[in-house]
């Protein structure tokens, strides 16, 4: 039942967040990153729901649009701050997960 309702942007399960809540929280985080002095790399770990919203915010995709981008587990996602905005440098990089590819290099 909950999974069917997650398509409703303002549906909030008991004790949880709606898509709109997560969207707002991700925008606040990006705003925080824009307003601090970054002299290096910031590493963040998160889950697919936040990654989905990050992609939507940066690519200006509405919450209502169908997701047509991949969010594989264990992937790397590289974003870059450019003036007062962000851009995606690398999305869903998984080459490090291919054990045989790494072994072949030695």
8/2: higher pLDDT: 8
| DSSP symbol at 41 | -
Residue 59 has pLDDT above 70, yes or no: yes
Q: Give the pLDDT mean for 48-74.
A: 93
Mean pLDDT, all residues of the chain: 85
Q: Give the pLDDT mean for 65-93.
A: 92
Residue 20 has pLDDT above 70, yes or no: yes
pLDDT band at 88; cut points 50, 70, 90: very high
Domains and CATH numbers, the chain: 2-104 (3.40.50.1240)
23-32 LR contacts (CB < 8 Å, sep 24+): 23/53, 23/56, 23/57, 23/63, 26/50, 26/53, 26/54, 26/57, 27/57, 30/54, 30/57, 30/86
Residue 80 has pLDDT above 60, yes or no: yes
């Amino acid at each position: 039942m909950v999974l069917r309702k997650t398509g409703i942007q303002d549906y909030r399960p008991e004790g949880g967040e709606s898509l709109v809540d997560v969207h707002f929280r991700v925008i606040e985080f990006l705003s925080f990153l824009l307003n601090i002095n970054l002299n290096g790399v910031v590493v963040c770990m998160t889950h697919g729901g936040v990654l989905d919203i990050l992609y939507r915010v940066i690519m200006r995709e509405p919450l209502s649009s169908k997701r047509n981008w991949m969010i594989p587990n264990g992937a790397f996602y590289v974003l870059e701050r450019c003036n007062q905005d962000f851009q995606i440098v690398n999305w869903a990089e998984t080459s490090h997960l291919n054990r045989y590819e790494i072994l072949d290099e030695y």
